[in-house]
A and B are shown apart, each in its own frame.
Chain A
Amino acid sequence: MSENTMPELGGEYKYGFKDDIEPLFTTGEGLTEDIVREISAAKNEPEWMLDFRLKAYELYRKLPMPDFGPDLSPLDFEHINYFRRDSDRVARDWDDVPEEIKKTFDRLGVPEAERKYLAGSSAQYESEVVYHNMRKEFDNLGIVFMDTDSAVQEYPELVKKYFGKLIPPADNKMAALNSAVWSGGTFIYVPKGVKVSVPIQSYFRINAGNSGQFERTLIIVDEGASINYVEGCTAPNYSEDSLHAAVVEVNVLKDAYCRYTTIQNWSDNVYSLETKRARALENATMEWVDGNLGSKVTMKYPSVYLDGRGARGTMLSIAFAGKDIDSDTGARMIHNAKNTSSSIVSKSLCKDGGRVDYRGHVRFGRHSDGSFAHIECDTIIMDDKSASDTIPFNEILNGNVSMEHEAKVSKISEEQLYYLMSRGISEEKATEMIIMGFVEPFTKELPMEYAVELNRLIEYQMEDSVG
């Protein structure tokens, strides 16, 4: 317990500030085939990647928008800026990052976090990564950690083997869009048997308005290796909408382990429509830890394809939907092999008219004998203006499996409030304590510094929650 874990209520969305930066290069508003070519050319990409993009662009034009979930009609694809370059290099030293951008990341605490507790750190600003670095001892282990653009140039064979394989462009419209215009994102390769428990972090920042950020993350954890990856996201507030449509593919090979933690705190003008998918081979473990606190609309259902015998997949998530926020998140666990197990624990909160839905899919394939799934959805609806639904979808094609599903929707318990207040604790503080307790199973899984930050964010969201 430290004094810092329970700071005072107060403050605003502190990441809402913006920089006034002239881009070095931008494709301007809107998207055409020529713009896809321009993006590829700006990156000096090999022909095979340009082909990939162009095919994806064709698919993007043909595929329909999702026919479920939040209303995406206000999103104006014509006015989005699909590519914007603000720095001409990926620096390995913060001093080489353009001054204005460096200041931003300083304010966000990125270099400080890196010094204190990260094995490696990268920072993406608009479309491209402007900084990445890894501590020497981890470099020496042969871990590859760089932006995905550089990986295309430096590790083409690995990229060719894995890129777009878990999430082909045809998967959905946003995946096709990302495949056409992707830029930046993180590439990680952890060699066989190399285990790193110190987190590696990527920070994604959108600065300009009408922005599109389409990072592409590809992680390969080779046999017996382990990695702990963390990403954070923020943006300034604008009246115009921005779009964040990431694609993340995580390959966890035999006996390997990956934990992928996201703290998404976009400003309330960002549509975050992501496709995240992992594949776990024999005895491998994939863990998603997913916190969704901001953005206007979130659609995200990270999945684990449990393709190897004994593979494990987990999702631990919280979603917080305040005023004007529509959060449609969940998980997919696809059991394709024997003795696989999965666990989904989803915690949701909504207030001030926010909407938070859990949408999950668990599938036991024909070869999933002896597999097991656990699903737990807890929701607190804090006022009558807010709403929540739990939408589970289960497919069971094998008789020799088992599954547990618990769902609970409640309000803040009067009994709990009364008890805390009977000890002199104010209603506001008591409400906050109950909420913090509710999300504690999530926060305790975060690195300490993130837990502190997350508590602070939730306190901010909770402000004025007592009428």
Chain B
Amino acid sequence: MSTLEIKNLHVSIEDKEILKGLNLKMSTGEIHAIMGPNGTGKSTLSEAIMGNPAYEVTEGEILLNGENILDWPVDERARAGLFLAMQYPAEIPGVTNAEFIRSAINARRPKDDPISIRKYLKDLEETMDFLDMPFSMAERYLNEGFSGGEKKRNEILQMMMIKPNFAILDEIDSGLDIDALKVVSRGVNEMRGPEFGSLIITHYQRLLNYIIPDVVHVMMDGRIVKVGGPELAKRLEDEGYAGLRDELGLDIKLTDDKA
């Protein structure tokens, strides 16, 4: 079992503090959801955990299996078991999807023992099939010309091929139609198990109908303000974030109340 713990995390972007003392603890075998209104720091949290150099951690700790990883570069964190399905994955012309995923897998193996091409292609084909992706997408350049939905599926494909301990899914549901949402959810549910945990960042409750979380965190203004079970997500869907804010007596301006 692996653990991921975030203690009193403060993160700034260009000197503006976005996360203001966030705490969260999870283990493999668990699915956690983070919900919250726009502009509350959900994506900042995911980028800070992954180690995006544009995000400056000013205080606090991120512990992976008890070890503080704040000084680790992003690739080291990834090899240690973290994965971030990004909201806006970069396009890399000239590098095929298949070549990229193979490099990612081999980065986790000893130099003299790369995955055999045959086994790799077989795994890739099966996984793409599972995600209703045409195999031709393996030979396309990474994310170049992919539709929004294709990019999201491709993030899930990478997750399934790399098999991380912790996958953070940053608004994986945004811009997806219901069929794609089901496919993406199928991917995450397939991964569920004692060696896999996921932190699902979402705006809407809809995704959580397909991936039932163990824990739901509500985030506002850079902090977790409430923790509960799946029923909390349902309640938010009915009452909105403003209702919860008022109930908690928080003095926070929501940038997008209607969401």
Contact A433 B103 (CB under 8 A): yes
In the complex, whether B204 has a CB less than 8 A from a CB of chain A is: no
Residue from B54, B75, B94, B111 within 8 A of A424 (CB atoms): B75
Tell me which of A130-138, A149-157, A199-207, A437-445 binds B.
A437-445
B243 interfacial by beta-carbon distance below 8 Å: no
Instruction: Report B-chain residues with C-beta under 8 Å of the C-beta of A239.
Output: none
State in angstroms the CA–CA spacing of A419 and B117 once bound together: 23
A70, B98: Cα distance in complex, Å: 42
Q: Give the chain B neighbours of A433 by CB distance below 8 A.
A: 92, 95, 99-100, 103
- CA separation between A423 and B103, bound complex, in Å? 9
B117–A424 CB distance below 8 A:
no
CA distance A424 to B82 in the complex (A): 9
What 1/0 flags go to A404-419 for Cβ under 8 Å of B?
A: 0000000001111011
Say whether B93 contacts A437, CB under 8 Å: yes
Query: Which of the listed residues A415, A424, A438, A440 has the most CB atoms from chain B within 10 Å of its own CB?
Result: A424
Q: B-side binding surface: helix, strand, loop or mixed?
A: mixed
Tell me the smallest distance from the CB of A429 to a CB of chain B, in Å. Answer: 7
A426 CA / B96 CA spacing, docked (Å): 18
- Asked if B141 and A3 make an inter-chain contact with CB atoms under 8 angstroms apart, the answer reads no
**Which residue of B50, B54, B94, B162 contacts A436 across the interface (Cβ within 8 Å)?**
B94
The reply to whether the CB of B259 lies closer than 8 angstroms to some CB of chain A is: no
Q: Find out whether the CB atom of A422 lies under 8 angstroms from the CB atom of B107.
A: no
Q: How many residues of A contact B (CB 8 A)?
A: 29
Complex CA distance for A424 and B98, rounded to whole angstroms: 15
A423 touches B162 (CB 8 A): yes
Tell which of A424, A425, A440 touches B93, judged by Cβ atoms closer than 8 Å.
A440
Report yes or no: B53 in contact with A423, Cβ–Cβ below 8 A: no
Find A437's partner among B54, B94, B107, B117 (CB 8 Å cutoff): B94
Report chain B residues within 8 Å CB of A352.
Answer: none
Chain B residues with CB under 8 Å of A430's CB are 75
Scan B71-105; emit 1 where CB is below 8 A from any A CB, else 0.
Answer: 00111001100011010011111111011111110
A429 near B94 with CB under 8 A, answer: no
Interchain CA distance A1-B98 in the complex, whole Å? 9
Q: How large is the interface on B (under 10, 10 to 19, 20 to 34, 35 or more residues)?
A: 35 or more
Docked-complex contact B79 and A1, CB < 8 angstroms: no
A interface, over-half SS:
helix
Q: Does B158 contact A (CB under 8 A)?
A: yes
Q: Does B140 contact A (CB under 8 A)?
A: no
Q: Which residues of A contact B52 (CB under 8 A)?
A: 418
A216 to chain B, nearest CB (A): 36
- Asked, given contacts A424-B107, A425-B104, whether A441 binds B74 with beta carbons under 8 Å apart, the answer is no
Q: Are A1 and B103 in contact (CB under 8 A)?
A: no
B108 within 8 A of A: yes
Let me know if A434 is at the binding interface, CB within 8 A: yes
Verify A422–B84 contact, CB threshold 8 A.
yes
Chain B contacts for A437, CB-based, 8 A? 92-95, 141
A194 at interface (Cβ–Cβ under 8 A)? no
A380 CB to nearest B CB, Å: 12
The reply on B114 being an interface residue by CB < 8 A is yes
Most buried by A among B50, B73, B74, B104: B74
CA distance A2 to B121 in the complex (A): 12
Q: Can you list 7 A-B pairs, Cβ within 8 angstroms, ordered by A? A: A3-B114, A416-B90, A418-B90, A423-B162, A424-B162, A439-B94, A440-B94
Closest 9 CB pairs of A and B: A437-B94, A440-B94, A424-B78, A423-B104, A419-B90, A437-B95, A421-B75, A424-B107, A424-B79
Interface of A toward B, CB cutoff 8 Å: 1-3, 6, 8, 413-416, 418-427, 429-430, 433-434, 436-441
Residues of B within 8 A of A (CB): 50-54, 73-75, 78-79, 83-84, 86, 89-96, 98-104, 107-108, 111, 114, 117, 141, 158, 162
A421-B78, A422-B83, A433-B100 known; 4 new pairs, CB 8 Å cut-off, are A1-B98, A1-B99, A419-B90, A424-B104
